[in-house]
Structure 1
Amino acid sequence: MKVMRILAGLAGAALMGVGVSLLSDAGDVTGVLLWLGGALLLHDAVIAPLVLVVGLLLVRGAGRGPVRGALVVAGALTVVALPVLLRPGPTANSSVLPLDYPRNWLLALGAVATVTALLTAARGFVRRRRPPSP
C-alpha cells in the first residue's frame, strides 16, 4: 500500500509539473488564475459544505458514506454538463451538439442514484445477516 501511495504522489507531482509548464505557456495567466480561484472558492464554500449537510440530513448510519459519494459524483457530473445544459438554444449547425444532453445527464444521475441505492441496500443486507460478534 505504501508503494502505491508513493507512486500516486509522484504521478500527481508530475501532472502538476505539466500543468505549471502549460500555464507558463499561456498568454493570459490572470484569467486562468481567476478561474482556478473561483473553482476553489465554489468547491470549499458551496459544494463541500452542501454535500456534507445533505449527507448528514438525508441518511443516518452506514449509508451515509455512499450517499455522500453519490452526491460528489452527481455534483461533478453536473459541473461537467453545465456548458451544454446552459447553452443558449439551437445552434446554426445541428451537428455541433447533436445529442439530447439534458436527458443523458438525467440518465447518468439516475444511474448514480440506482448504484447508490443498491450499494446501500446490499450493505444493510450484509449487516443484518452477519452474526453478532462476541
Structure 2
Amino acid sequence: MNRPRPPLGSPLHLLLLVCSFALAGYAGIRLFADDWRGVALWLAGAAVLHDLVLLPLYTLADRAVVRGLDAAGRRSRTMYVRVPAALSGLLLLVWFPLVSGLAGRRYRSATGLSPAGYPARWLLITAVLFGGSALLLALRVRSAAKRRPPAAH
C-alpha cells in the first residue's frame, strides 16, 4: 500500500520544507541563546566521538554477529540481535551520564532526585529487549515449523 507522494516541486512539498527549516531555525536559536560555545563544542565532540569511536565499534560488533550467524546458517536471524542491541545502545548513549554515575551530583541538585538505580534499570531494559526478541524468534521458528510439511522417509 504505497501512497502516492506529492512531486518534489509541489506547493505542499515546499510548504513542508519551509516549515521544517523554520522549526530547525527556532530550535537552533533557542539552543544557542545561552551557551553557544558549549553547545558548539558538544555538537563537534559528539560528531567526532561518533565517527571515530562509536561507528567503528558497532560496525565491528555487527559484523561479528553477522559472521557468527552466517557460519551457523542463520543469517536471517540477524535482526533479532541488531534491534535490541541498537535500542539498548541508544538508551545507553542518551542516559550514559546517569548510567555511568558521572552526573550524580548535578542530577540530584537539578531535580532533587537520587540517580541511584539507573545502571540496574538500563540492564533490566536491555534484558527485556533481548528476551522479547528471543521470544519473538522462538514463536516465529515454532510457527514456521508447524507450517512446514513433514519430511518423507
Asked whether the two chains share a fold, i.e. TM above 0.5, the reply is: yes
Q: What's the CA shift for 1:128? A: 0.9
CA shift, 1:25, in A, is: 6.0
Task: Return the TM-score normalized by structure 2.
Answer: 0.62
Higher mean alpha-carbon deviation, 65-74 vs 113-122, is at 65-74
**Post-superposition, which runs of at least 4 consecutive aligned residues in structure 1 deviate over 6 A?**
none
What CA RMSD, in Å, does the superposition of the two structures yield over aligned residues? 3.6
Q: Does 1:85 align with 2:99?
A: yes
| TM-score when normalising by structure 1 | 0.68
Contact between 1:51 and 1:71, CA under 8 Å: does it hold in 2? no
| 1:97 to 2:111 alignment | no
Name the aligned partner's letter for residue 24 of structure 2. V
Equivalent residue in structure 2 for 1:42, among 40, 53, 68: 53
Specify which of 119, 124, 128 is matched with residue 136 of structure 2: 119
Aligned 8 A contact 1:55 1:68 in 2: no
- Letter in structure 2 aligned against 1:44: L
Structure 1, unpaired ranges of 5+: none
- Percent identical pairs in the alignment equals 20
> Higher RCO, 1 or 2 (CA under 8 Å, sep at least 6)?
1
- Pairing of 1:2-81 with structure 2 (within 5 A): 2-3=3-4, 14=20, 18=24, 22=28, 26=32, 27-28=36-37, 30-31=40-41, 32-57=43-68, 60-81=74-95
Report if the CA contact (8 A) 1:66-1:116 is conserved: yes
Paired residue type of 2:86:
V
The change in CA–CA distance for 1:46 and 1:98 in structure 2 (over 3 A counts) is closer
Within 2, Cα distance between the matches of 1:126 and 1:15? 47
- Matched positions, count: 127
Letter in 2 for 1:95: G
- Shift of the alpha carbon at 1:118? 0.7
- Of structures 1 and 2, the larger Rg is shown by 2
